[in-house]
Chain A
Amino acid sequence: MHGRFSRSMITVAFAAAALSAVLSVAITRTSGQTPAAPAARPARVGGKPNLSGIWQANNEANWDLQAHAALPAAVTQPGVYPYDYARVPAAPVLALGAAGAVPGSLGVVQGDGQIPYAAEALLTKKENAEHWIDRDPELKCYLPGIPRAMYMPYPFQITQSTDKIHMAYEFSNTARTIHLDKVAGPPDDTWMGHSVGHWDGDTLVVEVTNFNDRSWFDRAGDFHSDALHLVERFTLKSPDIIQYEVTIEDPKVFTRPWRIAMPLYRRVEPNMQLLEFRCNEFVEEFMYGGLRKKQLVKHWEGDTIAVDITRKVPAGDKFYEWYGGK
C-alpha cells in the first residue's frame, strides 16, 4: 500500500487549487486599484543601517540558553536504569514521539557558558525546570519578555524609523517600541520592558528596564527578578544577518553581569509576512479545561490533568504497513 500521507497531500493540493481559484476572483474585485510599485528597502534609514524586515533566530536558545545535549523529551521520567542520562519521555509529551524531544545546542551564553546564579537563585532555577509545565509563562501564552521574544521559534518584524523602532512579535501578538528620542517611562512594570535606544556608530544599543519578575529566559527555568536590566546590541553583519548581543544584569538573581549572543536571520521568502499566533485562545483548554460542565478530557481531577495516553494505532498506520506490507 502506498503511504497514506501522499494520498492526503493530493487532497490538500486539490483543495488548495480550488481555494486559489476562489481567491483569484476575490482579487479581481479589488484590482481596480493600482498598487504602487513595491518600495525597495534602502540600506540605510536616516543615515543608520536599516534593520527593517522580518527576522528570526535559528537556534535552540528557547529550550535552554546553556549548552546541552539533546533530550528524549521536554518532560522525562526515570526509565529502567537509575541514571539521569537514561530517562525516558513522560506522559504529558509522550504521544508526540520525536516531536516532543529537545534538540541539543552549544549554547548562547558567552564566556564560560555559565549563568552566574546566586546560590539560592540556582535552587529556584532547578525547581523551575522540574515544574516546567506548571511555571513556564510560555505555556500559558503570557508575554514572552525580552530577550526571550527575540529568539523564540517565531518570526518578528522590525519597522525602523528615525526616532522610533518598532518590533512586532508573532508570538502572543506582542510588541515593543524602542524610543530613540525623549520619552517618559512606563506607568508600570512590564513583561516586555521599556526600551530606550541610541546608535553607537552602526550598532543599535538598547537599554531595557522596568521589567516585572515574571518572564523567563527559556524552557529550562532560567529566570530573573524585577531588577533585570538589559543592554542589547544590534549590528547588521550582512543585509540578512543581525548580530544580536545582550548583557544581562540582575543583582537580585545573578552574581555578575553575563552575556548572550546569536545571529538573527532575515526571513528572505519573498511572500514572508507575520501571521497571527494568538495563543491565549489555544491555551484555554490547558488552563480552564477542568472547569467545563462536560469535560473534553475525561481525567481532570480538580486542577490536575491526569494524562492517560491511549493511542490506538488505526489500521493502515501501523509502521510496517507504511512499507508495502498489508
Chain B
Amino acid sequence: MRDRFSRSTITVAIAAAAVIAGLSVPITRTSGQTPAASVKAAAPTSAAALQTSWGEPDLQGIWTDESDTPLQRSPKYANQEFFTEAQRTELDKERAALLGRDRRVERGTELDVAGAYNAQFMSVKHTGARTSLIVDPPNGRIPPLTPEAQKMAAADRQFRLALLQSTETCKNKSIACAGGKYDPTPSPRFAELPPRYNTARMNRRDNPEDGALPDRCLTGGLPEFGGATGSFRRIVQTPGGISMFYDVGQGQGWQRNIVMNGSPHLPAGIRQWYGDSRGHWEGNTLVIDVTNFSPKTDYQGSRENLHLLERWTRTGPNSLEYVVTIEDPTVWTRPWTVKQEFTRQSGDQNRIYYEPRCIEGNYASPGLMRGQRMAEAAFAHGQGPDPATSDNATDFVGVEDDPLQ
C-alpha cells in the first residue's frame, strides 16, 4: 500500500512530462558555459534589455532547470566537475531506457503492490552539464555532519528501522531496511515518539504527524532544487519589491515576498516554514539572506538553524544563474554551495500551477489512518495480520536505479 504523495505524483509527473516534451533544446544551451568552478556570480551580460523599465536588473518570468543534475557527485565521477559530451549522450540513452521499464519485485508481495508505479511517473530530463549541483566543496559532496548531527540522524534512523523490523521489507533484506535486521516480534518502539518532530515517512499512522511532510501537504520550502518532479518559479518585480511563486510537488506551491527595505530579519521568536527572506541588490545580483526557519522543517537534517545566502543573476535573455550557500554549523562541518542554471519558460503559455490546493484532495492521509485503525480493530478480533508486520511506508519509484545518482 502506498501513500497519496507518490500516488498524486502521477498527475504532476504527467504534467511535468508534458512540459518537458515541450521544452526547447535545453542541453546545448547550458553546455556552452565555460567550465569554471567559481561560486561567484557569473559576469552579467550588459544588455540594457535585461533591466526593468525602472532600471533594476530584470529577473522576471517563469524559470526552471531544464536538465537533471544530481545534488551530489557520484563517486564514479570523483575528479570530474563536468560530464564530457560523450558521457552525457550515453547517460541520456541509459536514462531514457528507464522511462519505459516496469519495475516489479516478487509478485504477490506487499512490496510489489507498493511498486505499482513505475519510472513513467518521474520526470526524467536531459543530463545536465555538471556532475553535481554542489560546486563547493570541490568534491561535489555535502560536507560531513557534525558529531551531534550524526547522532541525531542515527537515532532517527534507528527509530524508523525499529518500526520496520517485523515486516517483509526487513525479512527480504530490502534496501529500505539497510542497517536494520528482521525480527518477527514487533518493536516496543511503536509506542514511542520519534526522537524529534517527524518530517519523513515512517511505518506508523497513529497520528497525522506520523506522516511525512509531503503526505500532509506541508512540503515546499527552501532550498528548492526541483527534485524528482522538477519545479517552476514565477518572478514578478516592482520598484523595490520582488515576489516569487514556486510551483512544486503536486499542488504544493508556495510564495515568497522578498523584503527589500534593508530592515533586519524577523524577531528570532517568529519561525516560518519558508523562513524569512530579505534581499538587496549587489550590482546585477539579487542577494537574499534567509533565516528564521521553523523547527518543523528539515533540509538534509537542518532545521531552525538553517541559513541560506542566495544569489540570483540574470546571465542572458533566457538564462538565470542561481547560487545558494547553505549553512548550519549545528549540522554541517562547513557551509556548502549549490549552483543551478534556470531557463526562461514561455510567459504566453504560462505553464505554472498557482494553486497550493494539495489539502483539498488529500484523501490518502486520513485514508492511511483509517486503514490502520481498521487493521488494528480487525487484528484485535483475531482477523488479519498484526498491523505492525505490514510495511506502509516504503515505496519504490525507481529513482534508485538512476545512473546519475
Interface set of A (CB-CB < 8 Å, partner B): 15-16, 19-20, 22-23, 26-27, 30, 33, 35-42, 45-46, 50, 52, 140-143, 157, 159-166, 168, 172-177, 179, 181-184, 186-187, 190-192, 214, 271, 273-276, 278, 280-281, 283-285, 287-288, 291-294
A sample of 9 inter-chain contacts (CB < 8 A) reads A20-B267, A41-B241, A46-B53, A141-B359, A163-B347, A173-B254, A271-B263, A284-B209, A293-B207
Contact partner of B281 (CB less than 8 A), chosen from A36, A173, A175, A291, is A36
* A143 and B369 alpha carbons, distance in the complex (Å): 24
Query: Chain B: which residue is nearest A162 at the CB level?
Result: B53
- Within the complex, the shortest CB–CB distance from A145 to chain B, in Å, comes to 10
Inter-chain residue pair count (beta carbon < 8 A): 178
Contact partner of B355 (CB less than 8 A), chosen from A42, A50, A190, A288, is A190
Report A-chain residues with C-beta under 8 Å of the C-beta of B355: 143, 174, 190-192
Q: How many B residues, CB 8 Å from partner?
A: 66
* Interface window among B114-122, B148-156, B158-166, B269-277: B269-277
Contact partner of A38 (CB less than 8 A), chosen from B207, B254, B261, B347, is B261
Contact A33 B282 (CB under 8 A): yes
Contact B264 A42 (CB under 8 A): no
Contact B366 A168 (CB under 8 A): no
Complex interface bits, B233-246 against A, C-beta within 8 A gives 1, otherwise 0: 01011111111010
Contact A164 B236 (CB under 8 A): yes
Contact A293 B373 (CB under 8 A): yes
Contact B282 A23 (CB under 8 A): no
Using A37-B262, A38-B261, A166-B243 as known contacts, list a sample of 4 further A-B pairs with CB atoms less than 8 Å apart, ordered by residue number in A: A35-B262, A159-B243, A191-B360, A291-B366
- Within the complex, the shortest CB–CB distance from A186 to chain B, in Å, comes to 8
Query: Chain A: which residue is nearest B240 at the CB level?
Result: A39
Query: Given that A143-B357, A184-B348 are known contacts, is A33 also in contact with B239, CB under 8 Å in the complex?
Result: no
* A191 and B251 alpha carbons, distance in the complex (Å): 12
- Within the complex, the shortest CB–CB distance from A157 to chain B, in Å, comes to 5
Contact B257 A45 (CB under 8 A): no
Assess whether B393 is interfacial by the CB under 8 Å rule: no
Contact B239 A39 (CB under 8 A): yes
Contact A280 B259 (CB under 8 A): no
Query: Chain A: which residue is nearest B256 at the CB level?
Result: A168
- Within the complex, the shortest CB–CB distance from A210 to chain B, in Å, comes to 11
Report B-chain residues with C-beta under 8 Å of the C-beta of A191: 355, 357, 360
Contact A175 B268 (CB under 8 A): no
Contact B262 A36 (CB under 8 A): yes
Query: Given that A276-B273, A276-B274 are known contacts, is A287 also in contact with B264, CB under 8 Å in the complex?
Result: no
Assess whether B75 is interfacial by the CB under 8 Å rule: no
Report A-chain residues with C-beta under 8 Å of the C-beta of B291: 26
Query: Given that A172-B356, A275-B270, A293-B373 are known contacts, is A23 also in contact with B350, CB under 8 Å in the complex?
Result: no
Query: Given that A33-B280, A142-B357, A157-B257 are known contacts, is A181 also in contact with B269, CB under 8 Å in the complex?
Result: no
Report B-chain residues with C-beta under 8 Å of the C-beta of A190: 354-355
CB within 8 Å of A: which B49-83 residues: 52-54, 60
* A164 and B348 alpha carbons, distance in the complex (Å): 11
Contact partner of A159 (CB less than 8 A), chosen from B237, B253, B282, B366, is B237
Report A-chain residues with C-beta under 8 Å of the C-beta of B241: 41, 52, 159
Assess whether B94 is interfacial by the CB under 8 Å rule: no
Interface set of B (CB-CB < 8 Å, partner A): 15, 52-54, 60, 206-209, 216-218, 234, 236-243, 245, 253-255, 257, 259-270, 272-274, 280-282, 287, 289, 291, 347-350, 353-360, 365-366, 369-370, 372-373, 376
- Within the complex, the shortest CB–CB distance from A16 to chain B, in Å, comes to 7
Contact B206 A23 (CB under 8 A): no
Contact B255 A23 (CB under 8 A): no
Contact A174 B354 (CB under 8 A): yes
Query: Chain A: which residue is nearest B58 at the CB level?
Result: A161
Contact B255 A177 (CB under 8 A): no
Contact B243 A45 (CB under 8 A): no
Contact B243 A181 (CB under 8 A): no
Contact A27 B264 (CB under 8 A): yes
* A98 and B257 alpha carbons, distance in the complex (Å): 35
Report A-chain residues with C-beta under 8 Å of the C-beta of B15: 187
Contact B236 A38 (CB under 8 A): no
Report A-chain residues with C-beta under 8 Å of the C-beta of B289: 30, 33
* A64 and B234 alpha carbons, distance in the complex (Å): 34
Contact A143 B356 (CB under 8 A): yes
- Within the complex, the shortest CB–CB distance from A55 to chain B, in Å, comes to 13
* A15 and B270 alpha carbons, distance in the complex (Å): 13
Query: Chain A: which residue is nearest B281 at the CB level?
Result: A36
Query: Chain A: which residue is nearest B376 at the CB level?
Result: A293
Query: Given that A140-B359, A168-B243 are known contacts, is A291 also in contact with B369, CB under 8 Å in the complex?
Result: yes
Report A-chain residues with C-beta under 8 Å of the C-beta of B347: 163, 181, 183
Report B-chain residues with C-beta under 8 Å of the C-beta of A187: 15, 353
Report B-chain residues with C-beta under 8 Å of the C-beta of A293: 206-207, 372-373, 376
Contact A168 B255 (CB under 8 A): yes
Report B-chain residues with C-beta under 8 Å of the C-beta of A285: 208
Contact partner of B216 (CB less than 8 A), chosen from A26, A162, A280, is A280
Question: Which residue among B60, B209, B274, B347 has the maximum number of chain A CB atoms within 10 Å of its CB?
Answer: B347
